Amino acid sequence: MLKKILFFFVIFFMGSFIFSFEECTTAIVGSKVTPDGSILLWKNRDTSHLFNKVVFIKDEPYSYYGVVNSGEEAGRYVYGGINIKGFAIINSVAVNLPQKCGEEKDLEGLIMAEALRKCKTVDDFEKFISENLGESLGALSNFGVIDAGGNGAIFEVYNHGYNRLNLKDFKEGYIINTNFSRSGKEYEGAGYVRFLEVKKLFEGRKNFGIEFLLENVVRDIDNFFVPISSNNKWINTVDSINRSSTASCMIFQVFTEKKLRKYSTMWIVLGEPLTSLAVPIFLGSESIPDELFKGKFAPISEISHNIKMVVRPKKGGHLTNYLDYSTYLNSGMKEMFRREEEEILKDTELFLKKRPDKKDMVKFQNRIAKRVYDFLHAFYERIKFKKY
């Protein structure tokens, strides 16, 4: 009995004690359970680098799109991305994998940028990792990868080894990951509460689309063990999927049919997802809107942060984990953001049915990015001095 009590104590509190690494929540969703036959790769990026940007890097053999920290626009450290061949990659730190003192570490961003430049398939990535194992690799991570052939896998990688988990072996049609590896030491990882929350949201579903992920998963602020009450004034989101440390969300939607591949889409939410909206970036556009890139801080990331400071006004220590839930609800923020994003999703779906060319793709994604920025800016101006 004592062992069981200690086990649940560890699972519940582990996510609150570990802040020294990037705690991310991720999933791969296979084409058998998506409405349009695409394969999806999702990551909520939790990090101390709260201002992110999106870049497009012209390179050989493959150019690629990537999410980077502001100030790292060269794209040599990428925290999720997709290349022009439809190969996409994300990661989450795996705390319970072995790590030797004195060896390289924290090079996952460099590894992902190199993989995007060099890999076309999931098998290519395995070859890339196996050829670079050793003390200089600098990995302690679960890498999620998908390709345009509809293949997906999680690679649990440390400097001297890896374990491959293939999507096809998961009967549910998806793989969920947080900050522990299935091949690592049991109960020594982190992110167990978030894992259980995603599992709860996913279980029993037969159909997973972009709308479901954006509306029901990436912005989830519930806690598996302590559900939100309607009487809450404040909510501690330290163990939620959407957290105060969530700097961006990315969903890579890859179409496996060759003639549709250029319409594969990177759905990017810059800023804490609760305080921002998704912008589509099309694989065939080879372009990034200014609102996702320009300036010291990308404009959407910056205005999202301003809204965040209204609904998370507490500063210092662990106070930043607390969301002013009454302001979030009473300002109309939840419903207004949902309605606007639903319209963006509908408009994007109708646009892609026209089978647009590159020029039209660039214009459309630029228009949506401006629309998102204008919406967020107007909302911030409306609520910044109000009390709810």
357 domain-assigned: yes
Q: Which two tokens stand for residue 358?
A: 């590159």
Distances in Å between the alpha carbon of 283 and those of 191, 266, 288, 292, 351?
31, 7, 10, 15, 15
Helix (H, G, I), strand (E, B) or coil at 197: helix
Per-residue confidence (pLDDT) for residue 370, from 0 to 100: 98
pLDDT-derived band at 386, boundaries 50, 70, 90: confident
CA distance linking residue 264 with residue 128, whole number of Å: 24
Overall domain count for the chain? 1
Say whether pLDDT at 12 is over 60: no
Say whether pLDDT at 10 is over 50: no
Say whether pLDDT at 53 is over 50: yes
Per-residue confidence (pLDDT) for residue 13, from 0 to 100: 40
Tell me whether the omega of the peptide bond preceding residue 356 falls within 30 degrees of 0, making it cis. Answer: no
Average pLDDT over residues 47-55: 97
Say whether pLDDT at 163 is over 70: yes
Q: Which two tokens stand for residue 364?
A: 């459309």
Per-residue confidence (pLDDT) for residue 9, from 0 to 100: 37
Percent of the chain residues topping a pLDDT of 90: 89
168 domain-assigned: yes
CA distance linking residue 211 with residue 225, whole number of Å: 26
279 domain-assigned: yes
Average pLDDT over residues 149-166: 98
Helix (H, G, I), strand (E, B) or coil at 155: strand
Mean pLDDT computed over every residue of the chain:
93
Instruction: Kindly give, in sequence order, each residue whose CB lies less than 8 Å from that of residue 351, ignoring residues fewer than 6 positions away.
Output: 360, 364
Per-residue confidence (pLDDT) for residue 21, from 0 to 100: 55
The CATH number for 132's domain is: 3.60.60.10
Per-residue confidence (pLDDT) for residue 385, from 0 to 100: 84
259-312 pLDDT tens trace: 999 999 999 999 999 999 999 999 999 999 999 999 999 999 999 999 999 999
CA distance linking residue 283 with residue 267, whole number of Å: 11
Per-residue confidence (pLDDT) for residue 264, from 0 to 100: 98
In degrees, to the nearest 5, what angle opens at C-alpha 137 toward C-alphas 164 and 122? 35
Instruction: Kindly give, in sequence order, each residue whose CB lies less than 8 Å from that of residue 349, ignoring residues fewer than 6 positions away.
Output: none
64 domain-assigned: yes
227 or 44: whose pLDDT is higher? 44
pLDDT-derived band at 11, boundaries 50, 70, 90: very low
109 domain-assigned: yes
1 or 75: whose pLDDT is higher? 75
Q: Are strands 52-57 and 64-69 parallel, antiparallel or unpaired?
A: antiparallel
116 domain-assigned: yes
Average pLDDT over residues 214-226: 97
Say whether pLDDT at 200 is over 90: yes
388 domain-assigned: no
Say whether pLDDT at 211 is over 60: yes
Per-residue confidence (pLDDT) for residue 230, from 0 to 100: 78
C-alpha dihedral sign at 143, 148, 150, 151: negative
308-342 pLDDT tens trace: 999 999 998 899 999 999 999 999 999 999 999 99
| b/e map 266-291, b = 16+ CB within 10 Å | bbbbbbbbbbbbbbbbbbbbbbbbeb
Question: Which parts of 154-255 fold into alpha helices (H)?
Answer: 192-202, 210-212
**Domain assignment of residue 374, given as a range:** 2-383
Average pLDDT over residues 68-79: 96
Per-residue confidence (pLDDT) for residue 388, from 0 to 100: 78
Average pLDDT over residues 32-51: 97
